[in-house]
Amino acid sequence: MGERTDENLLQDYLDGDRDAFKELLGRYSQELVHFLTRFLGSRAAAEDVFQETFLQVHQSAETFDTSRRFKPWLFTIAANKARDYHRKHSRRKTMSLSAQVSDDEDGQQFVDLMEADLPSPDSPVLDAERSRLVKQVVDEMPSHLREILLLSYFQKMSYQQIAEVLEIPLGTVKSRLHTAVATFASAWKAARQKDRVHDSRERGGDEFNE
């Protein structure tokens, strides 16, 4: 017997298999916490929202149509829970969606958004300096653009899946993603140029002081 699909696991849970829910939770423990850490900028907050997300899955399991895919439904719940968290903590400064996830086995960073200067999603980890710049640029983007980049490039979701998660029309997904990539590209170019100028001045200062 092959591995059960997410949908099979949820149905088996509804049929009384308690271990099926544990398996489903374990299957997404790394991926969803990873996603939420970037969404919220805090590993601790991500773990709290992860628990709230699966509590909602438990409470709403009977309403899920198991002929559909489980993952977009799960991420819709998670994104809504994360937005609720942001609203509750609105007095605090908004944190980064691309925050580093500590002790991550693959060390994967936020990946190439322009298909140009940065590595592709399958390339090795970005060097520390380039990773810092990517995070800086993403941090400064409007939240609605950051989250669509996160879903598209990091989670590799289709337009239709993103539309379901964000609960927006398919056309809005396409136009918003286009805007997000253009915004990132412009800000990335400016950040790279600023960083080069800074490095040049630092080297010039060192040479002057020698």
Share of the chain above pLDDT 70, in %: 73
Q: Quick one: which of 121, 119, 125 has its CA closest to 106?
A: 125
Q: Quick one: which of 125, 90, 111, 199 has its CA closest to 155?
A: 111
Residues 84 and 164 in one domain: no
pLDDT category at 198 given cuts 50, 70, 90 is low
53, 69, 93 — which closes off a domain? 93
Residues 119 and 163 in one domain: yes
* Other residues' Cβ atoms within 10 Å of the Cβ of residue 122: 7
Residue 47: give its domain's CATH number.
Answer: 1.10.1740.10
Q: Which domain holds residue 111?
A: 107-210
> Tokens at residue 3, please?
């591995």
Q: What is the average pLDDT across 40-66?
A: 90
Residues 86 and 12 in one domain: yes
* 113-131: pLDDT as tens digits: 333 344 333 344 456 667 6
User: Helices 18-40 & 70-88, crossing angle to 10 degrees?
Assistant: 50
Q: Is residue 152 part of a domain?
A: yes
* 67-108: pLDDT as tens digits: 888 988 898 899 888 888 877 875 444 344 444 433 333 322
DSSP string, 56-112: HHHHHGGGS-TTS-HHHHHHHHHHHHHHHHHHHTTTSPPPPTTPPPTT-SS------
- pLDDT at residue 159 in the model: 87
pLDDT category at 206 given cuts 50, 70, 90 is low
- pLDDT at residue 172 in the model: 92
Residues 88 and 128 in one domain: no
DSSP state of 141: S
Residues 153 and 119 in one domain: yes
pLDDT category at 56 given cuts 50, 70, 90 is very high
- Cα(66)–Cα(162) distance, integer angstroms: 19
Residues 125 and 207 in one domain: yes
65, 93, 121 — which closes off a domain? 93
Q: Is residue 5 part of a domain?
A: yes
Q: Is residue 6 part of a domain?
A: yes
Q: Is residue 98 part of a domain?
A: no
Residues 175 and 202 in one domain: yes
- As to burial, measured by CB atoms within 10 angstroms (0-12 exposed, 13-18 middle, 19+ buried), residue 28 is buried
- pLDDT at residue 138 in the model: 75
**Is the full-model pTM beyond 0.95?**
no
Residues 120 and 186 in one domain: yes
Q: Is residue 101 part of a domain?
A: no
Domain count, the chain: 2
